[in-house]
Amino acid sequence: MRIERLEATPLEIPFKVSFKHTSADRAKTASVWVEAHATHGGIIVGYGEGCPREYVTGESLKSALDWIARNKSSIVNEVTGLESLKEWVAKQEQTIDKDPAAWCAVELALLDLLGKSQGQSLEALLSLPSLPSAFQYSAVLGDSDLAGFSKQVLKYVSVGFGDFKIKLSGDLEKDSAKIACLNSAGVPVKIRGDANNLWREPSEVIAYLDRLGHPFWALEEPLAPRDFAGMSKIAAHTGIKIILDESFTRAQDLRDIEDTPDLWLLNLRVSKLGGLMRSLDLLKHARSSGIKVIIGAHVGETSVLSRAGLTLAAVADDSRVAMEGAFGTHLLEHDVCDPSLMFGKGGRLCPEEWYFKTGTGCGLNIGEK
Ligand SMILES: [Mg+2]
């Protein structure tokens, strides 16, 4: 297969509600969209997406587009199939470590293109088992005010969610009120917190959890990114698992914590980890070290990244303790494909409801943007 065109553009889709994040406020997606063209019978197009995030990988939309422009000719000249794609990833490990979301967008487009050119699904192309019949998602609650939060909780509970992640603000009164709101939702709830690197000292976190009354079974990123020693102290002292997200974007991070597998959970997001193949490698490493994972998502991912997350989630199998994302048009004004790939009743996503189970490549019905 010869890549005839590789185009990267910004992808901006408005959100239905502005989604507040501790580190960023946005009202629309901020993604890189890649289209890769080849001729196979007629023209075939592969689609890819990446979510560059300053606060996760240090990337911006501009840096990601620049990275693709710089590496485009090498990719187009050297990648002709799955083997050469793998070779490119291995050879460029350090380059991709610095710009993982940029590469993710390219890689997903190339995998989609290869699948389509060979008449194979993503799973068949990568020699992976096919997708299970359903995936269970957990609900992620944004850092909105209490009124907005209660409304979100009611909505999630009415859909049938019982597994929640809340963003912490560090404002004790506000965070306590949110936890109380969840605990009075009228259904059994399981809660994990995401602090997005709010604190500096383990003692501050331990004291805060005491004041909250230890409501979480797991806590994401309480300290500065990669303060593994500090986070171990919190886990050992409280018995709460620590979820690594901003602290886990490359293979070295996993090597740094693999000796104490019981303390950690890893938040695997295909974009920040530099694409599906690198995510699959990291997942394999995590599983062999006995570390459980959460299949995560960036706010504003379209169906393309949600689809890649399904591949990862299926491989994770019983080492997966939660899934996030697949918001589709619950959050986006419109998606890149129709139907939009998203969770439904009970927070479940059933692949057989989409045609991609038999489709080729990512199998999504993506039209002209
Ligand atoms: Mg997080």
Q: How far is the CA of 22 from the centre of ligand 1 (A)?
A: 10
Please give the share of the chain, as a percent, with pLDDT higher than 90.
Answer: 87
How confident is the prediction for the chain on average, in pLDDT?
A: 94
Structural domain contains residue 362 = no
Provide the domain limits for residue 219: 135-357
Q: How far is the CA of 246 from the centre of ligand 1 (A)?
A: 7
What's at 305, amino acid-wise?
Answer: L
Same domain, yes or no, for 114 and 139? no
Same domain, yes or no, for 82 and 206? no
pLDDT in tens, 190-215: 999 999 999 999 999 999 999 999 99
Residue whose pair of structure tokens reads 């587009």 in the numeric block: 65
Contact present, 300 and 13 (Cβ < 8 Å): yes
Q: Which of 120, 146, 163 is the last residue in one of the domains?
A: 120
Burial class of 137 by CB neighbour count within 10 A (0 to 12, 13 to 18, 19+):
buried
Same domain, yes or no, for 160 and 218? yes
DSSP string, 284-315: HHHHHHT-EEEE---TT--HHHHHHHHHHHHH
Q: How far is the CA of 245 from the centre of ligand 1 (A)?
A: 5
What b-and-e string marks burial along 165-197, b requiring 16 or more CB atoms within 10 Å of the CB?
bbbbbeeeeebeebbebbeebeeebebbbbbbb
Two tokens, residue 253: 């991070």
pLDDT in tens, 280-332: 999 999 999 999 999 999 999 999 999 999 999 999 999 999 999 999 999 99
Structural domain contains residue 286 = yes
Same domain, yes or no, for 91 and 164? no
Same domain, yes or no, for 78 and 168? no
Q: How far is the CA of 123 from the centre of ligand 1 (A)?
A: 27
Chain centre distance of CA 178: 24
Asked whether residue 356 carries a pLDDT value surpassing 70, the answer given is no
Q: How far is the CA of 196 from the centre of ligand 1 (A)?
A: 6
Judged by phi (left if over 0) then psi (alpha if -120 to 50, else beta), residue 205 lies in alpha
Of 14-28, 149-163, 244-258, 272-286, the poorest mean pLDDT is in 14-28
Structure confidence at residue 369 (pLDDT): 47
Residue whose pair of structure tokens reads 């192309």 in the numeric block: 125
Q: How far is the CA of 219 from the centre of ligand 1 (A)?
A: 10
Is the previous residue joined to 202 through a cis bond, with omega within 30 degrees of 0?
Answer: no
Contact present, 113 and 3 (Cβ < 8 Å): yes
CA distance 66 to 74: 14
Q: Which of 120, 149, 175 is the last residue in one of the domains?
A: 120
Structure confidence at residue 18 (pLDDT): 60
pLDDT classification of 22: cutoffs 50, 70, 90:
very low
Q: What is the CATH number of the domain that holds 196?
A: 3.20.20.120
Q: Which of 90, 120, 150 is the last residue in one of the domains?
A: 120
